[in-house]
Amino acid sequence: MPGVHERGHVQPVALDEVAQGRAGEIGRPRHVGVGSRFVHGSPPWGDQVPRPAVTSSRRGAHVVDLCRAQNGHNSRRDSPRSSASRRKPLVPGHGPDWPGSCWSASPRGQYENYQPNAILAGAVPRTVRLRAPDWGFDEAELRAAFGPRTKAVFLCHPNNPTGKVYNAEELALLAELCQRWDVVLVVDSIYEHIHYLGPGGYLPPARVPGLEDRTITVNALSKTYAVTGWRVGWTVAPAPLTTAIRKVHDFLTIAAPAPMQAAGVAAMALPDAYYTGLATRYRERRDLLCEALERIGFALRRPDGSYYVLCDSAPLDAARDGTAFAKRLITEAGVSCVPAVSFWRPEHADEGRSMVRFAFPKRLETLHAAVERLEAFARV
Ligand X SMILES: Cc1ncc(COP(=O)(O)O)c(C=O)c1O
Q: Does 205 contact ligand X by CB under 6 A?
A: no
| CB contact at 8 A, 10 and 345 | no
Distance (Å, rounded) from C-alpha 251 to C-alpha 217?
A: 20
Query: Residue 266: in which H helix or E strand, if any?
Result: helix 258-267
Least separation in angstroms between CB 109 and ligand X: 13
Amino acid at 117: N
Full strand arrangement of the beta sheet holding 299-300: 299-300, 308-312, 355-359, 338-339
Q: Does 94 contact ligand X by CB under 6 A?
A: yes
- Residue 105 or 314: the one with the smaller Cβ distance to ligand X is 105
Least separation in angstroms between CB 335 and ligand X: 20
Q: Does 188 contact ligand X by CB under 6 A?
A: yes
- Residue 163 or 334: the one with the smaller Cβ distance to ligand X is 163
- Residue 35 or 334: the one with the smaller Cβ distance to ligand X is 35
Q: Which conformational region is residue 95 in: left (phi greater than 0), alpha (psi within -120 to 50 degrees), or beta?
A: left
Q: Does 228 contact ligand X by CB under 6 A?
A: yes
| CB contact at 8 A, 343 and 352 | yes
Q: Which of 160, 235, 323, 354 binds ligand X (CB under 6 A)?
A: 160
Least separation in angstroms between CB 193 and ligand X: 13
Q: Which residues between 267 and 326 bind ligand X (CB under 6 A)? A: none
E-state strands within 139-193: 150-156, 184-188
Measured from the Cβ of residue 16, the count of other Cβ atoms closer than 10 Å reads 10
Q: Which of 165, 190, 265, 355 binds ligand X (CB under 6 A)?
A: 190
Least separation in angstroms between CB 158 and ligand X: 8
Residues 6+ apart with CB under 8 A from 250: none
Residues 6+ apart with CB under 8 A from 189: 79, 80, 157, 158, 204, 217, 218, 219
- Residue 11 or 228: the one with the smaller Cβ distance to ligand X is 228
Least separation in angstroms between CB 231 and ligand X: 5
Q: Does 220 contact ligand X by CB under 6 A?
A: yes
**Per-position b or e across 184-213, b if 16+ CB within 10 A of its CB:** bbbbbbbbbbbbbeeeeebbbbbbbebbbb
Least separation in angstroms between CB 45 and ligand X: 19
Least separation in angstroms between CB 167 and ligand X: 19
Size of the site for ligand X (CB under 6 A): 11
Which residues here bind ligand X, judged by CB under 6 A?
94, 111, 156, 160, 188, 190, 220, 222, 228, 231, 233
